[in-house]
Amino acid sequence: MTTIRQLTESDYEDATRIFIYSFDLTEHPTSDFDDSWDSRSQENSYGLFLGNDALAGFVLGTFHEKTSNNLYIDYLAVDETLRGQGHGSTLLEYLITKSRDAHRGLHLFPDSFALVNWYKKFGFYETPDSDPLPGKPPFYLNLSPYPKRR
């Protein structure tokens, strides 16, 4: 059985482990994860748990000053041994439903070009980034709080 619930402090160690194996630590040091964990919106950051209550993946969302009511997805990651089984999609669909129920938009900076089409499958669209990082997509991705609006 798979469950999704809000992340708690007791999930920190498992989430850190998943983070370490999911991101290039030269680009995303664990201190960035720690900052995101500490500033996360606790009611909008979720973990996906398998039947044995093991953390399979997580999404950390924060509210930034410039985005007011829009939730920024800092990190979304799935345990490397469980990728390709739909867990990331399940987690993202859950976050999208919760955000739309709250009339809240979502946005993120994709970590790689390879992820862009995956996010677009869920309705995210590109917005030009005025200051893109070298080697990263020159845009960020948005999702409207309303299903039919772009």
Domain boundaries, the chain: 3-109
**Which distant-in-sequence residues (6+ apart) come within 8 Å of 136 by Cβ?**
109, 110, 111, 112
Dist CA 115 CA 126 (whole Å): 12
Superfamily for 3-109? Gcn5-related N-acetyltransferase (GNAT) (3.40.630.30)
pLDDT at 67: 61
pLDDT at 146: 78
Query: What is the average pLDDT score of the chain?
Result: 90
CB 70, CB 91: distance < 8 Å: no
CB 111, CB 74: distance < 8 Å: no
Instruction: State pTM to two decimals.
Output: 0.90
**Which distant-in-sequence residues (6+ apart) come within 8 Å of 93 by Cβ?**
122
Dist CA 118 CA 121 (whole Å): 5
pLDDT digits (tens, 9 = 90+) for 101-130: 998 999 998 888 888 999 999 999 999 988
pLDDT at 131: 85
User: Percent of the chain at pLDDT above 90?
Assistant: 67
pLDDT at 89: 96
